[in-house]
Chains A and B, each alone.
Chain A
Amino acid sequence: MSTLHFVALAPFIMAIFVPFLYHKFRHIHTGWFILPIPLLLFIYLIQYLPLGGAAMETVERSVPWVPSLNIHFTVFLDGLSLLFALLITGIGTLVVLYSIYYIANKKEEPLNNFYVYLMMFMGAMLGVVLSDNLIVIYVFWELTSLASSLLIAYWFHKEKSRYGAQKSMLITVTGGFAMLAGFTLLYMMTGTFSIREIISYGDVIVSSPLFLPAMILILLGAFTKSAQFPFHIWLPDAMEAPTPVSAYLHSATMVKAGIYLVARFTPVFGGQPEWFWIITSFGLFTLLWGSVSAVRQKDLKGILAFSTISQLGLIMSLLGLGSAAFHYEVVDGQSLYTVAVLAAVLHLINHATFKGSLFMVVGIIDHETGTRDIRKLGGLMTIMPITFTISLIGVASMAGLPPFNGFLSKEMFFTGTLNSATLDVFNVQTIGFIFPIVAWIASIFTFVYCMIMLFRTFTGNHQPEKLEKEAHEAPMGMLISPIVLASLVIVFGFFPNLLAYTIIAPTMQSILPGLLEPGEQFYVNVYHWHGLNTELFMTMGVVFFGAMIFLNARKWQETAFYLKERDPLNWFYDNGLVGLIKGSTAVNNVQMTGKLRDYFSFMFIFLVVVTGYMLWQRDAIAIDFANTAEISPYMYLISLSLILSTLVVPFLSKRISAIIVVGVIGFLVALLFVVFRAPDLALTQLLVETVMVVLFLLVFYHLPELRKESFKPAFKISNLIISIGVGLVVTLTALSAHAFSAANPISPISDYFVENAYALAGGNNIVNVILVDFRGLDTLLEVLVLGIVGLAVVVLIKFKSQKGEDV
């Protein structure tokens, strides 16, 4: 157990203590006890950052968990893990601080629940990014889904919260399960669960027939978690969570778990055309879909949710484009396509900063005005100046304006797509020109919703009568976290190279291993002024067209497109669920009728179909007339009377005749036992039949007269068909078995009993010797059966429930 293991487990340990702290110190906000945990972890993790241009050293520590199944809790810290761990702990600290002021009502809110879930989530997320073992990753992955659902449904008395929680749970867990299947396929190909070892088996995986299924299943996990089209529908509904949760889970950390997974598996699958095309096209489409959908949202959190979807699509598509880098020589630590990965990493960091701050800002507006509806808000600029400033910075960065950090990543995004349009691998040249166009259009819509967010909230007329509270500036404590994040937006904007060799280069090294000579580093230099190049003109176009669309908002806001707020894909989810329930109910109603007759017919039909099919399919039906015993004339008589009396049974309508006919059948069977030289059987059968007839008489005396079977003809005919089928199958099976045994004679084991009955057991009646000596255990248990039946009969007749009621 190393300190790094403790990093992932510390939040879980803290979660155990939260309820005690909550109940013991009611006057102190529980969040204050939580705050040091992410802060300490953040400070601890910072020391792993490589400083002074040195390459990052990877750390690996292993603790066996289930060694026999190759499952070890191995923590592995490289650039990628470190980047995510820093994001999780850093933003975690700020979110905890923010939540202390956001959920300020200590008396009424179940704070212990909140912080237990939050700690659970933080630990699970750290576990995902720090683990090296696929199974351990999966365990933590599902824990994040669980904790996320719990957090979304924090206000569980609200219907919408429960709906959102269920939706996110269903979608992410479905994806998680697919991912587990993908992991299992990887294990089948390589024989190891360790990601680092799997990377070294790259050739084996690529040439395996399981390559494509494994890749798609793992991508399903990543796409559901990271809200890629068409699985993005859970994210807007997850906005029912408290705002600190939305800021933390649904902008900065959990939704990036899918990004992490894709980045982590790029060394395994990257360089393959399927990987490139799936990730790039889904990413770009998500980018476009999210940005267009965000424009028509009326809820600030709705805008941010679709904005998050869109930006995640952007990062995803960059990772897809960047995977082409495996096909090119890297000169001086860069090639045309490493730029895409560089942009992805940079935007990942930038997005976490500005989106986190924007969510917090929206939370403040909600907290101080009582609404998040842009139709009710307006003119808050002078009332909430600090909030406005933070929003301005965040929104400008999101829109990609200089001098904020969003500008840098957007420029690089354009560079990446422009480079890719000229790619000559994977047949990109055919439709590669679409990449920059899609990126550009999506950026225009991004610009539009950014302007809507800013201007609809802070400019225009202030409408106090529509607000639930009197608007005023937030308390300082609530503003600290967004101020920190907004400052980071500016700092990273002006000094992007602070990040260059400390975190971006090591992260790229983890995403694209093996491309560099030993000792070399990826070249990272981010700067504002590239000269008058295409990217700059594209940005100008974005600003121009975005402003045009925003200024002409009145015209298109009347269209159906704008008025329909919900994502049309929700229709499939909602109706799919309803359809599933209806479908299973329908199947259930057909199958589980509650009628004994139906269940019997299912069993009989199954028996007939399976046995009959096998007989026919194996060509097993045979009749052997040669090896049969002779038939004495009286045998015809006995068999015929047996058959006739059996056939009479269904037509009997008087109980006394039923008893007599069944008794006759029993006695005829006894007669057959006599004929077939089985004296003991005949004796027993006679006795049992006599007792049975007596029993029947006794019981029937208390029962109603047999009714005439007056059922519909269809019922009778179907019963007849089933019973004839069963009889036929039994007959055919018996005939074939007889023919088979005649053709393949085996001397029966009974010869042993015949020879040794007297010698070993000292008895002349071989049947009795078998019953009590050779196979005495059967007899013992059979006696037990009779004893139990006797007891059960006594209990049934003697005992009744206290109130005299039967049942």
Chain B
Amino acid sequence: MEILMILTVGVLVTVATYMILTKSLLRVILGVVLLSHGAHLLFLTMANLKQGSPPLLGEEASSYADPLPQALILTAIVIGFGITAFMLVLAYRTYKAHGTDNFDELRGTEDE
């Protein structure tokens, strides 16, 4: 199962990289969202996907899924969300100010 997951992550990363390399601000943001999904899934995968109970002690199970990566991913999701939200608002402001979302046209001032 790990190998299947890693391949999935590979596809996510590839597409995310491709989106980040385009010239449109919005596509870059979408790429960053995909990249964070890939990172989160990779995190979970690399901590072994051997079956076990959810990490809730009330279950009285013999083995539990690894709780530490879950805690780390939870933190990462929230931070990723914050960054994405900020980027979206920034994109909105950029568009208001410059009237474009194309990087080729967002080149700063002439005498830079």
Which residues of A line the B interface, CB within 8 A? 594-597, 600-601, 604, 623, 625, 628-631, 635-636, 639, 642-643, 646-647, 649-650, 655, 658, 662, 665-666, 669, 672-673, 676-681, 684-685, 688, 691-692, 695-696, 699-700, 702-704, 706-707, 709, 711, 719-720, 722-724, 726-728, 730-731, 734-735, 737-738, 741, 748-750, 753-754, 757-758, 763-767, 770-771, 775, 778-779, 782, 785-786, 788-789, 792-793, 796-797, 806-807
Contacts and interface: CB of A to CB of B under 8 A. Distances in A.
B10 A639 contact: no
B81 A692 contact: yes
A221 B50 CA distance: 68
A796 B89 contact: yes
A692 B29 CA distance: 12
Nearest to A594: B107
A699 B90 CA distance: 10
A706 B27 contact: yes
Closest 6 CB pairs of A and B: A727-B14, A806-B97, A731-B10, A723-B17, A723-B18, A770-B71
The B interface, classified by DSSP as helix, strand, loop or mixed, is helix
A755 to B, nearest CB: 10
B70 A639 contact: no
Contact of A649 (B4, B30, B49): B30
A734 B6 contact: yes
16 contacts: A601-B21, A604-B17, A629-B2, A629-B51, A631-B4, A643-B11, A650-B18, A658-B26, A666-B33, A695-B85, A720-B18, A723-B16, A764-B57, A775-B71, A778-B72, A789-B83
B67 A766 contact: yes
A765 B55 contact: yes
Interface in B68-104: 68, 70-75, 77-79, 81-86, 88-93, 95-98, 100-104
Nearest to B21: A719
B89 A797 contact: yes
A600 B22 CA distance: 10
Given A597-B22, A709-B24, A786 B78 contact: yes
Contact of A665 (B37, B67, B84, B101): B37
B44 A673 contact: yes
A766 B64 contact: yes
Given A631-B4, A685-B77, A719-B22, A669 B17 contact: no
A629 B101 contact: no
A806 B8 contact: no
Contact of A767 (B7, B34, B55, B95): B55
B30 A658 contact: yes
Contacts of A684: 74, 77-78
Contacts of A658: 26, 30
A732 to B, nearest CB: 9
Contact of B75 (A677, A741, A779): A779
Interface of B: 1-24, 26-28, 30, 33-34, 37-38, 40-42, 44-58, 64-68, 70-75, 77-79, 81-86, 88-93, 95-98, 100-104, 107-108, 112
A722 B21 contact: yes
A771 B9 contact: no
Contacts of A679: 54, 56
Nearest to B93: A796
Contacts of A779: 75
Contacts of B56: 679, 764-766
A41 to B, nearest CB: 53
Given A677-B51, A719-B21, 6 more contacts: A601-B21, A628-B49, A662-B34, A669-B40, A684-B74, A706-B24
A223 to B, nearest CB: 43
B37 A753 contact: no
Contacts of B77: 681, 684-685, 688
A655 B24 CA distance: 12
Contacts of B71: 767, 770-771, 775, 778
A595 B104 CA distance: 7
Contacts of A775: 71
A807 B96 CA distance: 9
Contacts of B28: 596
Contact of A797 (B23, B40, B93): B93
A766 B55 contact: yes
Given A631-B4, A649-B15, A789 B82 contact: yes
A779 B72 CA distance: 10
A777 B26 CA distance: 33
Contact of A669 (B10, B20, B41, B89): B41
A643 B9 contact: no
B27 to A, nearest CB: 7
A565 B88 CA distance: 67
Residue among A625, A639, A730 with the highest chain B CB neighbour number at 10 A: A730
